[in-house]
Chain A
Amino acid sequence: MTGSAISFQGVTRRYPQKGGSDVVALHDIWLDVPQGAITGIIGRSGAGKSTLLRMVNGLERPSAGKVIVNERDVGAASDASLRRIRREVGMIFQHFNLLASRTVAENIALPLEIAGEDRAKIAPRVTELIERVGLTAQAGRYPAELSGGQKQRVGIARALATGPRVLLSDEATSALDPDTTRQVLELLQRINRDLGLTILLITHEMAVVRDICSHVAVIEGGRIVETGETYEVFSKPAHPTTRSFLTGVTGVAVPQFVAGQMRDAPQGAEAEAVVQITFIGSHATDPMLARLTSERGVSVNILAGAIEEIGTKPFGSLIVALPAARLEESRRFLEEHGLLTEVLGYVG
Protein backbone atom coordinates (compact mmCIF):
# COMPACT_ATOMS: atom_id res chain seq x y z
CA MET A 1 0.00 0.00 0.00
CA THR A 2 1.98 2.97 -1.18
CA GLY A 3 1.25 6.31 0.39
CA SER A 4 -0.06 4.97 3.65
CA ALA A 5 2.07 5.18 6.78
CA ILE A 6 -0.29 3.01 8.76
CA SER A 7 -2.64 0.41 7.40
CA PHE A 8 -5.27 -1.48 9.36
CA GLN A 9 -6.22 -4.61 7.46
CA GLY A 10 -9.27 -6.39 8.80
CA VAL A 11 -8.32 -5.67 12.40
CA THR A 12 -10.52 -7.19 15.08
CA ARG A 13 -9.92 -7.02 18.82
CA ARG A 14 -11.82 -9.29 21.17
CA TYR A 15 -11.53 -9.36 24.92
CA PRO A 16 -12.34 -12.83 26.21
CA GLN A 17 -14.69 -12.76 29.18
CA LYS A 18 -14.74 -15.40 31.89
CA GLY A 19 -17.61 -17.79 31.22
CA GLY A 20 -19.33 -15.49 28.73
CA SER A 21 -19.18 -14.26 25.18
CA ASP A 22 -16.22 -12.09 24.12
CA VAL A 23 -16.41 -8.33 24.14
CA VAL A 24 -15.59 -7.10 20.64
CA ALA A 25 -13.84 -3.73 20.95
CA LEU A 26 -12.93 -3.46 17.28
CA HIS A 27 -14.69 -5.15 14.42
CA ASP A 28 -12.99 -5.77 11.05
CA ILE A 29 -11.31 -2.38 10.72
CA TRP A 30 -9.93 -1.44 7.31
CA LEU A 31 -8.23 1.94 7.31
CA ASP A 32 -5.27 3.52 5.54
CA VAL A 33 -3.60 6.46 7.22
CA PRO A 34 -1.89 8.58 4.57
CA GLN A 35 1.82 9.38 4.81
CA GLY A 36 2.61 12.90 5.98
CA ALA A 37 -0.98 13.87 6.73
CA ILE A 38 -2.85 14.57 9.95
CA THR A 39 -5.61 12.03 10.34
CA GLY A 40 -8.23 12.18 13.06
CA ILE A 41 -10.22 9.29 14.42
CA ILE A 42 -13.30 10.68 16.08
CA GLY A 43 -15.68 8.76 18.26
CA ARG A 44 -17.40 8.81 21.61
CA SER A 45 -15.87 7.19 24.67
CA GLY A 46 -16.05 3.43 24.40
CA ALA A 47 -16.20 3.52 20.59
CA GLY A 48 -12.85 1.72 20.39
CA LYS A 49 -10.66 4.59 19.22
CA SER A 50 -8.20 4.23 22.05
CA THR A 51 -7.75 0.51 21.35
CA LEU A 52 -7.29 1.28 17.66
CA LEU A 53 -4.58 3.88 18.35
CA ARG A 54 -2.70 1.52 20.68
CA MET A 55 -2.54 -1.10 17.94
CA VAL A 56 -0.16 1.16 16.02
CA ASN A 57 2.65 0.88 18.58
CA GLY A 58 1.72 -2.58 19.77
CA LEU A 59 0.41 -1.55 23.20
CA GLU A 60 -2.60 -3.57 22.06
CA ARG A 61 -2.40 -6.53 19.73
CA PRO A 62 -5.09 -7.49 17.21
CA SER A 63 -7.06 -10.72 17.71
CA ALA A 64 -7.32 -10.95 13.93
CA GLY A 65 -6.06 -8.92 10.99
CA LYS A 66 -2.87 -6.95 10.47
CA VAL A 67 -1.57 -3.55 11.50
CA ILE A 68 1.15 -2.39 9.11
CA VAL A 69 3.30 0.54 10.24
CA ASN A 70 6.15 1.75 8.02
CA GLU A 71 5.75 -1.48 6.09
CA ARG A 72 6.13 -3.72 9.14
CA ASP A 73 3.50 -5.92 10.73
CA VAL A 74 3.24 -4.62 14.29
CA GLY A 75 0.80 -7.27 15.47
CA ALA A 76 3.19 -10.09 14.59
CA ALA A 77 6.40 -8.39 15.78
CA SER A 78 8.57 -10.00 18.45
CA ASP A 79 9.12 -8.06 21.70
CA ALA A 80 12.56 -6.91 20.54
CA SER A 81 11.48 -5.74 17.10
CA LEU A 82 8.39 -4.15 18.64
CA ARG A 83 10.68 -2.02 20.82
CA ARG A 84 12.53 -0.89 17.69
CA ILE A 85 9.25 -0.04 15.96
CA ARG A 86 8.15 1.95 19.01
CA ARG A 87 11.19 4.20 18.66
CA GLU A 88 9.88 5.18 15.24
CA VAL A 89 6.41 5.92 16.61
CA GLY A 90 6.06 8.77 19.12
CA MET A 91 3.04 9.06 21.38
CA ILE A 92 1.44 11.87 23.39
CA PHE A 93 -1.24 11.47 26.02
CA GLN A 94 -4.28 13.22 27.43
CA HIS A 95 -2.74 13.40 30.90
CA PHE A 96 0.77 14.04 29.53
CA ASN A 97 2.35 11.14 31.48
CA LEU A 98 5.50 13.06 32.37
CA LEU A 99 7.83 11.84 35.10
CA ALA A 100 7.36 14.09 38.13
CA SER A 101 10.88 13.28 39.29
CA ARG A 102 12.51 14.59 36.10
CA THR A 103 12.95 18.12 34.82
CA VAL A 104 11.66 19.17 31.42
CA ALA A 105 15.05 18.45 29.84
CA GLU A 106 15.38 15.11 31.64
CA ASN A 107 11.90 14.05 30.57
CA ILE A 108 12.74 14.77 26.95
CA ALA A 109 16.00 12.86 27.33
CA LEU A 110 14.24 9.72 28.61
CA PRO A 111 13.42 8.07 25.25
CA LEU A 112 17.00 8.73 24.11
CA GLU A 113 18.38 7.09 27.26
CA ILE A 114 16.06 4.16 26.67
CA ALA A 115 17.31 3.87 23.10
CA GLY A 116 20.85 3.68 24.49
CA GLU A 117 21.99 6.97 22.95
CA ASP A 118 25.37 8.46 24.01
CA ARG A 119 25.12 11.09 26.74
CA ALA A 120 27.16 13.44 24.56
CA LYS A 121 24.58 13.18 21.78
CA ILE A 122 21.56 13.49 24.07
CA ALA A 123 22.27 17.00 25.40
CA PRO A 124 22.33 18.87 22.05
CA ARG A 125 19.34 16.90 20.80
CA VAL A 126 17.33 17.82 23.91
CA THR A 127 18.27 21.49 23.54
CA GLU A 128 17.08 21.44 19.94
CA LEU A 129 13.76 19.80 20.89
CA ILE A 130 13.16 22.24 23.75
CA GLU A 131 13.67 25.09 21.31
CA ARG A 132 11.30 23.53 18.81
CA VAL A 133 8.46 23.48 21.34
CA GLY A 134 9.35 26.88 22.79
CA LEU A 135 10.26 25.87 26.35
CA THR A 136 13.86 27.04 26.59
CA ALA A 137 13.13 29.07 29.72
CA GLN A 138 11.53 26.07 31.43
CA ALA A 139 14.24 23.47 30.67
CA GLY A 140 15.25 23.05 34.30
CA ARG A 141 11.77 23.07 35.77
CA TYR A 142 9.75 20.12 37.01
CA PRO A 143 6.36 19.19 35.48
CA ALA A 144 4.52 20.28 38.65
CA GLU A 145 5.72 23.83 37.95
CA LEU A 146 4.27 23.93 34.42
CA SER A 147 0.85 24.76 32.98
CA GLY A 148 -1.13 22.11 31.13
CA GLY A 149 -0.15 23.50 27.75
CA GLN A 150 3.53 23.55 28.70
CA LYS A 151 3.29 19.96 29.92
CA GLN A 152 1.85 18.87 26.59
CA ARG A 153 4.70 20.68 24.80
CA VAL A 154 7.13 18.62 26.86
CA GLY A 155 5.13 15.53 25.89
CA ILE A 156 5.42 16.48 22.22
CA ALA A 157 9.16 17.17 22.46
CA ARG A 158 9.64 13.83 24.23
CA ALA A 159 7.62 12.02 21.56
CA LEU A 160 9.82 13.57 18.85
CA ALA A 161 13.11 12.78 20.60
CA THR A 162 13.94 9.57 18.76
CA GLY A 163 13.04 11.07 15.38
CA PRO A 164 9.85 9.09 14.74
CA ARG A 165 8.04 8.99 11.41
CA VAL A 166 4.64 8.66 13.03
CA LEU A 167 3.15 10.56 15.97
CA LEU A 168 0.16 9.14 17.85
CA SER A 169 -1.97 11.53 19.86
CA ASP A 170 -4.34 10.15 22.49
CA GLU A 171 -6.84 12.94 23.24
CA ALA A 172 -3.84 15.25 23.64
CA THR A 173 -5.92 18.40 24.05
CA SER A 174 -8.90 17.03 25.97
CA ALA A 175 -7.53 18.17 29.33
CA LEU A 176 -6.72 21.69 28.07
CA ASP A 177 -8.69 24.91 27.87
CA PRO A 178 -9.71 26.23 24.42
CA ASP A 179 -6.85 28.74 24.08
CA THR A 180 -4.21 26.22 25.07
CA THR A 181 -5.86 23.62 22.84
CA ARG A 182 -5.45 25.94 19.87
CA GLN A 183 -1.76 26.53 20.64
CA VAL A 184 -1.05 22.82 20.99
CA LEU A 185 -2.92 22.06 17.76
CA GLU A 186 -0.91 24.75 15.98
CA LEU A 187 2.27 23.17 17.26
CA LEU A 188 1.19 19.76 15.96
CA GLN A 189 0.37 21.30 12.62
CA ARG A 190 3.77 22.99 12.44
CA ILE A 191 5.55 19.74 13.28
CA ASN A 192 3.54 17.96 10.61
CA ARG A 193 4.60 20.56 8.04
CA ASP A 194 8.23 20.97 9.10
CA LEU A 195 9.11 17.33 9.66
CA GLY A 196 6.69 15.67 7.26
CA LEU A 197 5.54 13.60 10.20
CA THR A 198 2.43 11.45 9.88
CA ILE A 199 0.08 12.26 12.75
CA LEU A 200 -2.74 9.98 13.83
CA LEU A 201 -4.89 11.42 16.57
CA ILE A 202 -7.97 10.29 18.40
CA THR A 203 -10.46 12.74 19.82
CA HIS A 204 -14.08 13.14 20.77
CA GLU A 205 -14.02 16.80 19.73
CA MET A 206 -15.03 17.64 16.17
CA ALA A 207 -13.29 21.01 16.61
CA VAL A 208 -9.91 19.23 16.72
CA VAL A 209 -10.68 17.45 13.45
CA ARG A 210 -11.97 20.68 11.92
CA ASP A 211 -8.87 22.64 12.93
CA ILE A 212 -6.00 20.38 11.89
CA CYS A 213 -7.05 17.07 10.32
CA SER A 214 -6.90 16.67 6.55
CA HIS A 215 -8.39 13.19 6.87
CA VAL A 216 -10.93 11.79 9.27
CA ALA A 217 -12.40 8.45 10.25
CA VAL A 218 -15.56 8.25 12.34
CA ILE A 219 -15.70 5.27 14.67
CA GLU A 220 -18.80 3.95 16.41
CA GLY A 221 -19.29 0.71 18.30
CA GLY A 222 -15.94 -0.67 17.18
CA ARG A 223 -16.59 -0.02 13.50
CA ILE A 224 -15.37 2.68 11.14
CA VAL A 225 -18.64 4.17 9.89
CA GLU A 226 -17.22 6.88 7.67
CA THR A 227 -13.82 7.85 6.36
CA GLY A 228 -12.20 10.19 3.89
CA GLU A 229 -10.84 13.70 3.49
CA THR A 230 -12.19 15.87 6.27
CA TYR A 231 -13.77 18.33 3.93
CA GLU A 232 -15.52 15.61 1.93
CA VAL A 233 -16.84 13.92 5.04
CA PHE A 234 -17.95 17.23 6.48
CA SER A 235 -19.77 18.28 3.36
CA LYS A 236 -21.57 14.98 2.71
CA PRO A 237 -21.90 13.23 6.06
CA ALA A 238 -23.67 9.95 5.43
CA HIS A 239 -23.77 8.42 8.89
CA PRO A 240 -25.92 9.72 11.77
CA THR A 241 -22.91 9.70 14.12
CA THR A 242 -20.97 11.99 11.79
CA ARG A 243 -23.96 14.29 11.58
CA SER A 244 -24.33 14.52 15.31
CA PHE A 245 -20.64 15.36 15.68
CA LEU A 246 -21.01 18.00 12.97
CA THR A 247 -23.97 19.76 14.49
CA GLY A 248 -22.09 19.89 17.77
CA VAL A 249 -18.98 21.49 16.33
CA THR A 250 -20.05 25.06 15.66
CA GLY A 251 -20.56 26.05 19.25
CA VAL A 252 -23.90 27.63 18.46
CA ALA A 253 -26.39 27.14 21.27
CA VAL A 254 -30.11 27.66 21.66
CA PRO A 255 -30.68 31.00 23.45
CA GLN A 256 -31.70 30.72 27.10
CA PHE A 257 -35.18 32.21 26.69
CA VAL A 258 -36.02 29.53 24.09
CA ALA A 259 -34.23 26.64 25.76
CA GLY A 260 -36.25 27.22 28.93
CA GLN A 261 -39.57 26.48 27.26
CA MET A 262 -38.52 23.76 24.82
CA ARG A 263 -40.47 20.46 24.77
CA ASP A 264 -39.88 17.10 23.11
CA ALA A 265 -43.16 17.18 21.14
CA PRO A 266 -45.19 19.95 19.51
CA GLN A 267 -48.27 21.20 21.38
CA GLY A 268 -51.08 22.92 19.49
CA ALA A 269 -51.34 24.17 15.94
CA GLU A 270 -49.23 27.24 16.65
CA ALA A 271 -46.19 25.19 17.82
CA GLU A 272 -42.80 25.95 16.33
CA ALA A 273 -39.95 23.52 15.77
CA VAL A 274 -36.45 24.55 16.82
CA VAL A 275 -34.09 23.27 14.15
CA GLN A 276 -30.33 23.38 13.87
CA ILE A 277 -29.17 23.81 10.28
CA THR A 278 -25.56 23.06 9.44
CA PHE A 279 -24.16 24.13 6.11
CA ILE A 280 -20.86 23.58 4.44
CA GLY A 281 -18.93 25.10 1.58
CA SER A 282 -20.82 26.80 -1.21
CA HIS A 283 -24.13 26.13 0.50
CA ALA A 284 -23.05 28.50 3.20
CA THR A 285 -23.29 31.37 0.76
CA ASP A 286 -26.62 30.34 -0.77
CA PRO A 287 -29.61 32.21 0.64
CA MET A 288 -31.42 28.95 1.35
CA LEU A 289 -33.61 30.31 4.14
CA ALA A 290 -34.75 33.15 1.95
CA ARG A 291 -35.68 30.61 -0.73
CA LEU A 292 -37.52 28.48 1.81
CA THR A 293 -39.63 31.51 2.59
CA SER A 294 -40.11 32.77 -0.97
CA GLU A 295 -40.57 29.41 -2.72
CA ARG A 296 -42.44 27.49 0.00
CA GLY A 297 -43.97 30.26 2.01
CA VAL A 298 -42.47 29.02 5.28
CA SER A 299 -41.61 31.79 7.70
CA VAL A 300 -38.32 31.24 9.45
CA ASN A 301 -37.19 32.87 12.66
CA ILE A 302 -33.40 32.90 13.22
CA LEU A 303 -32.46 32.36 16.88
CA ALA A 304 -28.67 31.96 16.72
CA GLY A 305 -25.94 31.42 14.20
CA ALA A 306 -22.26 31.40 13.37
CA ILE A 307 -20.05 30.82 10.38
CA GLU A 308 -16.54 29.40 10.67
CA GLU A 309 -13.98 28.08 8.24
CA ILE A 310 -12.62 24.61 7.64
CA GLY A 311 -9.43 25.21 5.77
CA THR A 312 -10.56 28.01 3.47
CA LYS A 313 -14.14 26.83 3.13
CA PRO A 314 -17.05 28.29 5.05
CA PHE A 315 -18.84 26.09 7.51
CA GLY A 316 -21.74 27.39 9.49
CA SER A 317 -24.61 26.65 11.75
CA LEU A 318 -27.94 28.32 12.37
CA ILE A 319 -30.60 27.67 14.93
CA VAL A 320 -34.03 28.63 13.62
CA ALA A 321 -37.66 28.30 14.61
CA LEU A 322 -40.23 27.40 11.96
CA PRO A 323 -43.86 26.23 12.11
CA ALA A 324 -44.02 22.64 13.32
CA ALA A 325 -46.76 21.88 10.81
CA ARG A 326 -44.38 22.67 7.96
CA LEU A 327 -41.37 20.91 9.54
CA GLU A 328 -41.08 17.78 7.39
CA GLU A 329 -41.53 19.69 4.15
CA SER A 330 -38.96 22.31 5.19
CA ARG A 331 -36.41 19.71 6.26
CA ARG A 332 -36.77 17.90 2.95
CA PHE A 333 -36.28 21.15 1.05
CA LEU A 334 -33.13 22.05 2.99
CA GLU A 335 -31.62 18.56 2.89
CA GLU A 336 -32.21 18.34 -0.87
CA HIS A 337 -30.08 21.44 -1.16
CA GLY A 338 -27.23 19.92 0.80
CA LEU A 339 -27.89 21.35 4.27
CA LEU A 340 -27.98 19.26 7.44
CA THR A 341 -30.94 19.64 9.76
CA GLU A 342 -31.52 18.40 13.25
CA VAL A 343 -34.66 19.01 15.31
CA LEU A 344 -33.69 20.18 18.79
CA GLY A 345 -37.21 20.52 20.23
CA TYR A 346 -40.45 22.41 20.06
CA VAL A 347 -41.84 25.57 21.59
CA GLY A 348 -45.57 25.96 22.01
Chain B
Amino acid sequence: MSANLIPILWQATLQTLYMVALSTLLGTLIGGPLGVFLATSRRGELLSAPWLNTVLGLVVNAARSTPFIILVVAIIPFTRLIAGTSIGTTAAIVPLTIAAAPFIARLIETAIREVDAGLIEAARAMGATPMQIVRKVLIPEAMPGIILGLTLAVVSLIGYSAMVGAVGGEGLGDLGIRYGYQRFMPEVMLAVVVILIVLVQLVQSAGEWIAARFDKRAPRNRGR
Protein backbone atom coordinates (compact mmCIF):
# COMPACT_ATOMS: atom_id res chain seq x y z
CA MET B 1 0.00 0.00 0.00
CA SER B 2 1.45 3.32 -0.98
CA ALA B 3 2.21 5.78 1.78
CA ASN B 4 -0.11 8.46 0.40
CA LEU B 5 -3.11 6.27 1.22
CA ILE B 6 -2.39 6.46 4.95
CA PRO B 7 -3.72 10.03 5.37
CA ILE B 8 -6.82 9.09 3.39
CA LEU B 9 -7.48 6.10 5.63
CA TRP B 10 -6.83 8.19 8.72
CA GLN B 11 -9.25 10.86 7.61
CA ALA B 12 -11.92 8.29 6.77
CA THR B 13 -11.47 6.72 10.21
CA LEU B 14 -11.95 10.10 11.86
CA GLN B 15 -15.06 10.71 9.76
CA THR B 16 -16.51 7.37 10.81
CA LEU B 17 -15.71 8.04 14.47
CA TYR B 18 -17.30 11.50 14.19
CA MET B 19 -20.50 10.17 12.64
CA VAL B 20 -20.81 7.25 15.05
CA ALA B 21 -19.99 9.29 18.15
CA LEU B 22 -22.39 12.10 17.38
CA SER B 23 -25.25 9.85 16.25
CA THR B 24 -24.80 7.66 19.37
CA LEU B 25 -24.92 10.76 21.55
CA LEU B 26 -27.99 12.22 19.82
CA GLY B 27 -29.62 8.79 19.51
CA THR B 28 -29.19 8.28 23.25
CA LEU B 29 -30.58 11.72 24.05
CA ILE B 30 -33.73 10.82 22.10
CA GLY B 31 -33.83 7.04 22.61
CA GLY B 32 -32.91 7.08 26.30
CA PRO B 33 -35.98 8.92 27.62
CA LEU B 34 -38.10 7.10 25.04
CA GLY B 35 -36.82 3.72 26.28
CA VAL B 36 -37.45 4.67 29.90
CA PHE B 37 -40.97 5.75 29.00
CA LEU B 38 -41.69 2.58 27.02
CA ALA B 39 -40.47 0.50 29.97
CA THR B 40 -42.68 2.23 32.52
CA SER B 41 -45.87 3.30 30.77
CA ARG B 42 -47.91 0.17 30.16
CA ARG B 43 -51.20 -0.08 31.99
CA GLY B 44 -50.73 -0.09 35.75
CA GLU B 45 -47.03 0.74 35.55
CA LEU B 46 -45.21 3.68 37.10
CA LEU B 47 -46.00 6.27 34.41
CA SER B 48 -49.09 4.42 33.18
CA ALA B 49 -50.11 5.83 29.76
CA PRO B 50 -51.16 2.78 27.76
CA TRP B 51 -52.30 4.65 24.64
CA LEU B 52 -49.16 6.73 24.29
CA ASN B 53 -47.12 3.61 24.99
CA THR B 54 -48.86 1.77 22.16
CA VAL B 55 -48.48 4.65 19.70
CA LEU B 56 -44.80 5.19 20.50
CA GLY B 57 -44.22 1.45 20.29
CA LEU B 58 -45.69 1.43 16.78
CA VAL B 59 -43.54 4.39 15.72
CA VAL B 60 -40.42 2.71 17.08
CA ASN B 61 -41.25 -0.52 15.28
CA ALA B 62 -41.93 1.31 12.04
CA ALA B 63 -38.59 3.11 12.22
CA ARG B 64 -36.79 -0.11 13.04
CA SER B 65 -38.35 -2.10 10.23
CA THR B 66 -37.32 0.41 7.53
CA PRO B 67 -34.09 -0.74 5.87
CA PHE B 68 -31.37 1.77 6.69
CA ILE B 69 -30.40 2.48 3.08
CA ILE B 70 -34.03 3.32 2.29
CA LEU B 71 -34.30 5.49 5.39
CA VAL B 72 -31.22 7.45 4.27
CA VAL B 73 -32.71 8.44 0.94
CA ALA B 74 -36.32 8.70 2.10
CA ILE B 75 -35.58 11.39 4.65
CA ILE B 76 -33.33 13.54 2.47
CA PRO B 77 -35.75 16.54 2.67
CA PHE B 78 -35.81 16.23 6.45
CA THR B 79 -32.01 15.94 6.53
CA ARG B 80 -31.74 19.13 4.49
CA LEU B 81 -34.09 20.87 6.91
CA ILE B 82 -32.04 19.87 9.95
CA ALA B 83 -28.45 19.95 8.66
CA GLY B 84 -28.89 22.63 5.98
CA THR B 85 -27.54 20.17 3.41
CA SER B 86 -28.30 16.63 2.41
CA ILE B 87 -24.72 15.77 1.48
CA GLY B 88 -21.64 15.20 3.61
CA THR B 89 -20.55 13.73 6.89
CA THR B 90 -22.62 16.05 9.06
CA ALA B 91 -25.75 15.44 6.99
CA ALA B 92 -25.23 11.69 7.41
CA ILE B 93 -25.63 12.09 11.16
CA VAL B 94 -29.36 12.79 10.69
CA PRO B 95 -30.36 9.38 9.28
CA LEU B 96 -27.87 7.65 11.59
CA THR B 97 -29.51 9.31 14.59
CA ILE B 98 -32.99 8.46 13.38
CA ALA B 99 -31.94 4.83 12.99
CA ALA B 100 -30.14 4.78 16.33
CA ALA B 101 -32.81 6.37 18.53
CA PRO B 102 -35.53 3.68 18.30
CA PHE B 103 -32.91 0.92 18.49
CA ILE B 104 -31.41 2.46 21.61
CA ALA B 105 -34.92 2.99 23.02
CA ARG B 106 -35.69 -0.73 22.75
CA LEU B 107 -32.33 -1.72 24.25
CA ILE B 108 -32.82 0.61 27.21
CA GLU B 109 -36.43 -0.52 27.61
CA THR B 110 -35.23 -4.12 27.83
CA ALA B 111 -32.51 -3.25 30.36
CA ILE B 112 -34.98 -1.37 32.57
CA ARG B 113 -37.57 -4.13 32.42
CA GLU B 114 -34.92 -6.45 33.89
CA VAL B 115 -34.96 -4.47 37.16
CA ASP B 116 -36.70 -6.46 39.91
CA ALA B 117 -40.24 -5.22 40.51
CA GLY B 118 -39.56 -5.60 44.26
CA LEU B 119 -37.20 -2.61 44.07
CA ILE B 120 -39.95 -0.45 42.59
CA GLU B 121 -42.27 -1.55 45.37
CA ALA B 122 -39.63 -0.78 48.01
CA ALA B 123 -39.09 2.69 46.56
CA ARG B 124 -42.84 3.35 46.43
CA ALA B 125 -43.06 2.26 50.06
CA MET B 126 -40.41 4.91 50.87
CA GLY B 127 -42.65 7.59 49.40
CA ALA B 128 -40.71 8.06 46.15
CA THR B 129 -42.32 9.86 43.23
CA PRO B 130 -42.34 8.08 39.85
CA MET B 131 -39.54 10.34 38.63
CA GLN B 132 -37.46 9.60 41.74
CA ILE B 133 -37.95 5.89 41.11
CA VAL B 134 -36.73 6.31 37.53
CA ARG B 135 -33.70 8.41 38.52
CA LYS B 136 -32.64 6.73 41.74
CA VAL B 137 -33.68 3.12 41.21
CA LEU B 138 -34.41 2.08 37.63
CA ILE B 139 -31.58 3.79 35.75
CA PRO B 140 -28.78 3.02 38.27
CA GLU B 141 -29.93 -0.59 38.64
CA ALA B 142 -30.21 -1.06 34.87
CA MET B 143 -26.83 0.60 34.17
CA PRO B 144 -24.83 -2.55 33.32
CA GLY B 145 -27.53 -3.58 30.83
CA ILE B 146 -27.80 -0.05 29.44
CA ILE B 147 -24.03 0.12 28.83
CA LEU B 148 -24.04 -3.25 27.05
CA GLY B 149 -27.03 -2.09 24.98
CA LEU B 150 -25.24 1.11 23.99
CA THR B 151 -22.18 -0.96 23.05
CA LEU B 152 -24.36 -3.00 20.73
CA ALA B 153 -25.81 0.23 19.30
CA VAL B 154 -22.33 1.68 18.61
CA VAL B 155 -21.25 -1.50 16.85
CA SER B 156 -24.40 -1.42 14.70
CA LEU B 157 -23.85 2.26 13.91
CA ILE B 158 -20.31 1.53 12.74
CA GLY B 159 -21.91 -0.85 10.25
CA TYR B 160 -24.63 1.64 9.27
CA SER B 161 -22.08 4.42 8.79
CA ALA B 162 -20.60 2.44 5.91
CA MET B 163 -23.86 2.91 4.00
CA VAL B 164 -24.09 6.69 4.22
CA GLY B 165 -21.67 6.94 1.33
CA ALA B 166 -24.93 6.93 -0.66
CA VAL B 167 -25.49 10.54 0.43
CA GLY B 168 -21.83 11.53 0.38
CA GLY B 169 -21.35 10.73 4.01
CA GLU B 170 -17.78 9.54 3.44
CA GLY B 171 -16.06 7.59 6.19
CA LEU B 172 -14.47 4.13 6.08
CA GLY B 173 -17.23 2.24 4.30
CA ASP B 174 -17.44 4.83 1.56
CA LEU B 175 -13.65 4.76 1.15
CA GLY B 176 -13.67 1.00 0.83
CA ILE B 177 -16.29 1.12 -1.91
CA ARG B 178 -14.85 4.04 -3.87
CA TYR B 179 -11.15 3.03 -3.76
CA GLY B 180 -11.37 -0.68 -3.22
CA TYR B 181 -14.27 -1.52 -5.53
CA GLN B 182 -14.58 1.26 -8.06
CA ARG B 183 -10.83 1.94 -8.46
CA PHE B 184 -9.78 -1.70 -8.18
CA MET B 185 -7.61 -1.20 -5.09
CA PRO B 186 -8.39 -4.31 -3.04
CA GLU B 187 -5.64 -3.41 -0.55
CA VAL B 188 -7.68 -0.34 0.47
CA MET B 189 -10.76 -2.47 0.97
CA LEU B 190 -8.73 -4.86 3.09
CA ALA B 191 -7.29 -2.00 5.14
CA VAL B 192 -10.82 -0.61 5.69
CA VAL B 193 -12.09 -3.99 6.86
CA VAL B 194 -9.15 -4.42 9.23
CA ILE B 195 -9.68 -0.96 10.72
CA LEU B 196 -13.42 -1.70 11.19
CA ILE B 197 -12.64 -5.02 12.89
CA VAL B 198 -10.23 -3.27 15.26
CA LEU B 199 -12.76 -0.51 15.95
CA VAL B 200 -15.55 -2.96 16.74
CA GLN B 201 -13.22 -4.99 18.97
CA LEU B 202 -12.18 -1.88 20.88
CA VAL B 203 -15.77 -0.70 21.32
CA GLN B 204 -16.95 -4.13 22.46
CA SER B 205 -14.11 -4.57 24.97
CA ALA B 206 -14.51 -1.03 26.31
CA GLY B 207 -18.27 -1.53 26.66
CA GLU B 208 -17.89 -4.78 28.53
CA TRP B 209 -15.24 -3.28 30.79
CA ILE B 210 -17.40 -0.29 31.67
CA ALA B 211 -20.49 -2.48 32.19
CA ALA B 212 -18.51 -4.73 34.55
CA ARG B 213 -17.41 -1.65 36.52
CA PHE B 214 -21.06 -0.75 37.02
CA ASP B 215 -22.15 -4.29 37.81
CA LYS B 216 -22.15 -4.84 41.58
CA ARG B 217 -24.39 -7.90 41.42
CA ALA B 218 -21.53 -10.41 41.62
CA PRO B 219 -19.15 -10.38 44.60
CA ARG B 220 -15.89 -8.60 43.78
CA ASN B 221 -13.70 -11.59 44.49
CA ARG B 222 -15.56 -13.65 41.90
CA GLY B 223 -15.19 -13.02 38.17
CA ARG B 224 -14.67 -9.45 36.99
Known: A86-B124, A113-B136. A95 touches B141 (CB 8 A): no
A99 near B119: Cβ-Cβ < 8 Å:
yes
A91 and B143 CA atoms in complex are apart in Å by: 26
Partner of B218, one of A93, A115, A144: A144
Partner of B126, one of A87, A100, A101, A145: A87
**Binary interface profile of B, 137-148, with partner A (CB < 8 Å = 1, else 0)?**
100110100000
Q: Tell me whether B121 is interfacial, beta carbon within 8 Å.
A: yes
Q: Tell me whether B214 is interfacial, beta carbon within 8 Å.
A: yes
- B124 contacts across to A, CB distance below 8 A: 59, 86
**Binary interface profile of A, 69-113, with partner B (CB < 8 Å = 1, else 0)?**
000000000000011111101010101010111100000001101
Task: Give residues 109-145 of B contacting A (CB, 8 Å).
Answer: 116, 118-119, 121-129, 132, 136-137, 140-141, 143
A91 near B125: Cβ-Cβ < 8 Å:
yes
Task: Determine how close the nearest CB of chain B comes to the CB of A135; give it in whole angstroms.
Answer: 17
- B183 contacts across to A, CB distance below 8 A: none
Q: Tell me whether A142 is interfacial, beta carbon within 8 Å.
A: yes
Q: Tell me whether B43 is interfacial, beta carbon within 8 Å.
A: no
Please name the residue on chain B nearest to A89 by beta carbon: B125
A86 near B119: Cβ-Cβ < 8 Å:
no
A: number of interface residues (CB 8 Å):
28
Secondary structure dominating the interface of B: helix
Known: A97-B119, A99-B119, A101-B214. A87 touches B137 (CB 8 A): no
B143 near A101: Cβ-Cβ < 8 Å:
yes
Known: A93-B118, A99-B137, A101-B141. A115 touches B214 (CB 8 A): no
B: number of interface residues (CB 8 Å):
24
Q: Tell me whether B220 is interfacial, beta carbon within 8 Å.
A: yes
Task: Determine how close the nearest CB of chain B comes to the CB of A319; give it in whole angstroms.
Answer: 39
- A137 contacts across to B, CB distance below 8 A: none
Task: Determine how close the nearest CB of chain B comes to the CB of A145; give it in whole angstroms.
Answer: 5
Q: Tell me whether A23 is interfacial, beta carbon within 8 Å.
A: no
**Binary interface profile of A, 159-173, with partner B (CB < 8 Å = 1, else 0)?**
000100000100000
Q: Tell me whether B67 is interfacial, beta carbon within 8 Å.
A: no
Task: Determine how close the nearest CB of chain B comes to the CB of A295; give it in whole angstroms.
Answer: 57
**Binary interface profile of B, 201-218, with partner A (CB < 8 Å = 1, else 0)?**
000000000000010111
Taking A59-B121, A115-B126, A142-B220 as given, write out 15 further A-B residue pairs in contact, using a Cβ cutoff of 8 Å, ordered by the A residue number. A83-B127, A86-B126, A97-B118, A97-B121, A99-B119, A100-B141, A100-B216, A101-B140, A102-B216, A114-B132, A142-B216, A142-B219, A145-B219, A145-B220, A162-B126
Please list the residues of chain B having a beta carbon within 8 angstroms of any beta carbon in chain A.
Answer: 116, 118-119, 121-129, 132, 136-137, 140-141, 143, 214, 216-220
> What are 17 residue pairs bridging A and B, where the CB atoms are less than 8 Å apart in the complex?
A59-B124, A83-B129, A86-B126, A87-B126, A91-B122, A93-B118, A93-B122, A99-B137, A99-B140, A101-B140, A101-B141, A101-B214, A110-B136, A111-B126, A114-B123, A144-B219, A162-B126
